[in-house]
Structures are given as C-alpha cells and as structure tokens.
Chains A and B, each alone.
Chain A
Amino acid sequence: MFSNRLVNILIPTISVFLGLLVGAFIMLGFGYNPLTGYLSLWEGAFGDSYFFGETLRQVTPYILSGLAVAFAFRTGLFNIGVEGQVIMGWLASVWVGLAIDAPMIIHLPLVIIAAALAGAAWGFLPGLLKAKLGVHEVIVTIMMNYIALYTSNALVRNIISDGQDRTDRIPETASLTSEWLAALTQYSRLHYGLLIALFAAAIMWFILNQTTRGYELRSVGFNQDASRYAGMNVGRNIILSMVISGAFAGLAGAMEGIGTFGYQSVKGGFTNIGFDGIAVALLGGNAAIGVVLAALLFGTLKVGALNMPTGAGVPTELVDIVIAMIIFFVASSYMIRWFLLKMKKEGK
C-alpha cells in the first residue's frame, strides 16, 4: 500500500499536521481562535509581495544551515556547531568585504569563498579531534559555538571597527542585495543568496549520491567498522564531512552578512540560525530536497509568526510551541512509522 519513499514523505507531513493541530488546541486552550491565528500567520508570510520576499529571505540561511546539519548527519556526526560556523562565516564575509577593494566579479566570489572557508575551518577542528582522538563532536562543537560568538564580538569591537557595536556596511561590490529584487518585493531584503542556497542543495545531493567520496561518507555514517574493514579511511571521511558541513554553515552566515544585514554586530546571544538548522535537517529527513522544503516551512513559520501578535493577538511564544510540537512529532516519528507499517501490513 505504501512504498518506502512514500513513508519517508508521509512521516514529516503527518508530523507537521499533528504539530499544527496540537498548536491549534493549545491556542484554543488559552482562549485564542486558532483559525484567525493561523490566518494571520499566513498573511504575515505571504500577505503581499513584501512579506513573501521576507519569508524567502529567512528561508535562505535556513536551507544552508539545514544542509550543514544534514550533511554531517549522513556521516553519522551530530554537528551542533553549525551556529558557531554560521557566526564565523558571517564575520569572514563582512571582514573580507570591508578589507578588500575589487570589482564585483572578483570581490563577491572572494567574499563567499572566505565565508565558506571560515565555516569549514570551524568544522575542521572538531572533525580532527573526533578522528584522531575520539573526542565526541557534540561536546567540542557546543564549546566552539561560544568561542565563535565571543571571538566575533571581540574582533568586531576591537579590530574591524573602532570600538563600535557594529562594523561599517560592506561596499556594493561585495553585496548580494539587488535593487531589482527589492523593488519587486516592495523593499524586502530578499537577495540573490537564495540561488546560492538552492545551488548548494544540488551540490550536496551530487556529492552524496553521485560520487565515490559521497558513497564512502554515507557508508561511514551507516557503520564505521564495516567501512574500515572495507578499506575506507574513516578518520579522513569524518574530517571531510565536518569540513563540508562547516562550509555550508559558513555560507549560511554569509547570507546574513552580505545579504540580509550587510554588517556584523556585537551579538548578545546566538543567532539561532544554526540551532534551527538542526530542526530543519531533522524535518527534511537529512536529504537535500527535504531540507529545502523544511527550510521553506520554518522560514514561513518564523516570519509569519511575527504577524500573529498584531494580527490575531496570539503571543509569539505560542508559535514557538507549535514549532516545538512539530519537532517533537518528527523526533517521535517511530510512532508514526510503526502505525504506517501496520496499515501497510493490514492492507496486504
């Protein structure tokens, strides 16, 4: 009755549906009308071209941070450090953007490569520690997040700017913003980064599914011992996976640095792009196309949610609960999977 592929699509869909449903009940429970609530969420995300642009703008870094988490997952690594890698990528893109003066055709690619390299470097270290010394990547990457946050703050404050809270704006030659897109969406901050994100998704699919190296990476993810027995260099694959994952995360940072904001500021806390990326990857089933779709959903929820307090009087916290519910149902997908398999058997 259900093919495996269908089950893989059904589980996240049902999870999202159940999450929204439970969210609706919670809204009802607190005396809000869930329909006006969700309606204003929809309005806030797609109400007119401005909000649609902002939604796509929010989706862009989510795609990349989701890809970063998913890529490491496929090699059996849990990269919690995407957040830190995003911050380093953001910093690098802005720093190189400010430091170098060049025509756009050189400047822009240089800035993007710098961001990817910075993120990759931030992923390399945990990968190295895991491969050579067996230090668990979760612990190291969590710590690396804090190092990234405070390093970036110190550099912005003392080196890149003159004791200011944020850097100067990057020059046009290093910027992904486009007047054409802004005019099309009534001054939203939509930028060309979306194309980069989609391209990155295609690259991830290509690496993992069409190359020998990708086969090895996935094989290490399935079973390290078997891979070693088959003659693969497990350590090198772990490092490579973390480096590529970090590069995706660095690009996500660049989307914010040279796309949305155009500067880096002293941050009081994490951006949450990396942490949300974990949820995006989970919901997207760690596959490239799944991540793109999940990022679309999360971007919609995040931007749309901003309209819920003004549009329907529903507090933003409730939207966080809905998102948490969706993740909860994805994480407990075993329940849904079991149920679907049961139906499949009964069907036969």
Chain B
Amino acid sequence: MLKNRRSLLILTLLLAIGMVLGACGSSDGDSEDAEGSGSDNSNGEEAAGDDFSVAMVTDVGGIDDKSFNQSAWEGLTAFGEENGMEKGQGIDYAQSTSDADYNTNLNRLVRSDYNLIYGIGFLLAPAIEEVADQNPDTNFGIVDSVVEKDNVASIVFKEHQGSFLVGVAAAMKTESDKVGFIGGVDSDLINKFEAGFRAGVKSVNKDIEVKVQYAGAFDAPDDGKAIASNMYSQGIDVIYHASGGTGNGVFAQAKDLKQNDADRNVWVIGVDRDQHEEGQINDTNVTLTSMVKRVDVAVQDVSTNAMNGEFPGGEVVEYGLEDDAISVATTNEEAMTDEIKTAVEDWKEKIVNGEVEVPSTIDEVKEFEDSL
C-alpha cells in the first residue's frame, strides 16, 4: 500500500515535470516571433537615434519614488511628447538598485548612442564625472550637484528659497510655536533645505522653536514615522520633511493622529512634488503645503536647449523662484488661508528682489538667526 502510494507520488511529480517541460517547449515556439520583434525594436531605436535622443539614470529611489526621479522622468516624457518620442524611441531611463550600478547604467546608455544622459541626484556625481571623462563626445547632465566638465551641465535648484517660504507658512500655521524639520541624509544638499526653513520660520517669529532631526536614509518610512511620532508628541504641530521616501512615514503618522482625533492640529509640509495626495485622510488633508521643485521643468528645459544645439556644457544652471522652478503649493486651500498666502507672496517678492538673502548652509543660517 505504502509503496503504491509512493510510486503514485512519483508518477504525479513526473507528470508535473513533463507538463512544465512541455510548456517550456511551446514557449520556445513563440521565441521566433519574439526575436523577430526584438530586432524590429532595435531597428526602431537606431532610427530614432539618427536624430536626438535623451536618457536618464535614476538613483536607488527608482522611477516611481513620488519624488525627484519620478519628476525628472515626467520632464523627459513631456519633452518626448513635444518632439514625437516615446520610451525606447528617443527617450528612456535606466534604474539603479545600488551605488555600483550607476557607472554600468550610464555606460550602457552611452553605448546605446544617446546624445544626452542625465544622472538624477547628487549620488550619481562621481559616476558622471568618471563616465563623462571617458566619453567626451556624449553630453551629460547632473541634477542636484556640480560636476566641472565641458560635456556636463550641472542642474541645481535654490531649494533654500522654497524652504524659506514654506518656513513662513509653517510659522504662521503653528499654534504651539514649535515646528519640526525631518531630513533624509545629513548632507550639504539637505542642509540647504534645513537652512532655508529655519530662516523662514525665524523671520516671522524668532521665538518659534525649530526641532531638526535627520533620519539617515531616504528610503526608511518606518524611521520617518517614528521620528514624526516623537515630534508630534512633544507638541510640534507642523513638520517639514526633506527626506524622499522616508517622508511617507511622516505622512502616515500625521494621518494616524488625525484619524484618532479629528480636531488635532497636525500638519506636514511636503517636498519636491506637490504631496497633497499623500496627506488625504477622510474629508481633511494634513498636507499644509509642499516645497515644489520642478526637476521636470529643468530637465525639459535643458533637453530642449541641447536639441537646439545650445547645450550648457560646463555650466552650472541654477533654477529658482524666478524661473518658477521652485514654488510653494497652494492645493490645500482650507489650510493655506489668504493671510498665509499673502505673507508667502510678500516674502517671495523680497527674495526675488534680492531684499532678503536666504541662507543656504548651516553656518549661514546661524549667522542669520543671530542677526534677527
């Protein structure tokens, strides 16, 4: 009996394997069409490559990070639509899963004969530097960092200006006179956000306390949630996050608090894109505003220039409030009262006029605070 059952089991397994192998065979049959279409594809790419083609390499955040990688790809897509290109035909992206992938991805795109290749994020700066050296005939763009090479355009933003303005909004919104800042990785770039925010808050009311904490990562929503929980329980009612994916945890915590107690005063200020959607809970929204950084505008702008033969190689292209590449979102009309909006507009004018010099480093913001 036992032996019978065993042989039955073996028979079943054999049958299963047979079917699996059979299915494999049939998929082999498909392959010829597949290969045909595959080579068609590559022909198509070459055809598009005769003109002008642009590609980008994401950092580890990936193309769907709801932040600047996504924004950059939106800019490239918009550029493609304008010029009749689509993904794989004139525009494309490569995603990186670790630091080691940056060089490989950049080189792969160089080999595919793209005319202009972007590295999205300061993490790619060393890779761009190396690859740009080895491939002087290809143009590169680096976002959020500066690489001094003739074939590299460095795209940077005046995030401190936008952060200053959301700081103004935070200062006017807070009732406890305590606001918080959550940064991703403690770095020059994120310090720029911190400096602008602190200066903005203190410009409205220098008695408001700003608590600053860095999560140490851009992809740790759990850490973001823990830090936010800690801050909110200390009486902080507005948190500005500049931490990419980590910020999703900040939104989650704010929404949890709002869910438990609808009258509780908790706000989050988003970053990079208008993060209004992330803050939606029931009928209310915890997103006060967002510091919008239009990476898409910049990418589209530089691509268009490059296509017209005006690639800003070796230059640092800086985008700020005056180009509308940095702005403050007003999607949450209930929370952004007219009073706040007017104040933000006033300060914006002062910054654009040069009346106010917004600090962009920690040292500068300390000086700025002392001078108040």
Question: Which A residues contact B (CB, under 8 angstroms)?
Answer: 21, 24-25, 28, 33-36, 39, 44, 48, 50-51, 54, 58, 150, 153, 157, 163-166, 187-189, 256, 260-261, 263, 265-269, 271-272, 303, 306-307, 309-310, 312-313, 316, 339, 342
Contact = CB atoms under 8 A, between A and B. Distances in A.
A306 B98 contact: no
A187 B112 CA distance: 16
6 contacts: A54-B103, A268-B218, A271-B98, A306-B104, A310-B109, A316-B97
B185 A260 contact: no
Contacts of A153: 216
A-B CB proximity, top 7 nearest: A35-B31, A268-B217, A33-B34, A187-B134, A36-B38, A165-B187, A54-B104
Contacts of B103: 54, 189
A24 B108 contact: no
A87 to B, nearest CB: 12
Q: SS class of chain B's interface: helix, strand, loop or mixed? A: helix
A143 to B, nearest CB: 16
Contact of A268 (B23, B30, B94, B219): B219
Contacts of B99: 261, 265, 267, 271
A266 B185 contact: yes
Interface of B: 6, 10, 13, 20, 23-24, 27-28, 30-31, 34-35, 37-38, 60, 88, 92-101, 103-105, 107-109, 111-112, 122-123, 126, 134, 184-188, 216-220
Centre residue among B88, B187, B188 by max chain A CB count within 10 A: B187
B188 A165 contact: yes
Q: SS class of chain A's interface: helix, strand, loop or mixed? A: helix
Nearest to B38: A36
B100 A260 contact: yes
Contacts, number: 101
B195 to A, nearest CB: 14
Nearest to B184: A268
Contact of B216 (A150, A163, A272, A307): A150
Contacts of A21: 20, 24
B182 to A, nearest CB: 14
A156 B185 CA distance: 13
Contacts of A188: 107
A315 to B, nearest CB: 8
A81 B187 CA distance: 27
Contacts of A157: 186
A342 B27 contact: no
Contacts of A54: 103-104, 107
Contacts of A164: 188
B94 A266 contact: no
Nearest to A260: B100
Contacts of A303: 104
Centre residue among A189, A256, A269 by max chain B CB count within 10 A: A269
Centre residue among B23, B60, B93, B185 by max chain A CB count within 10 A: B185
Contacts of B111: 48, 50
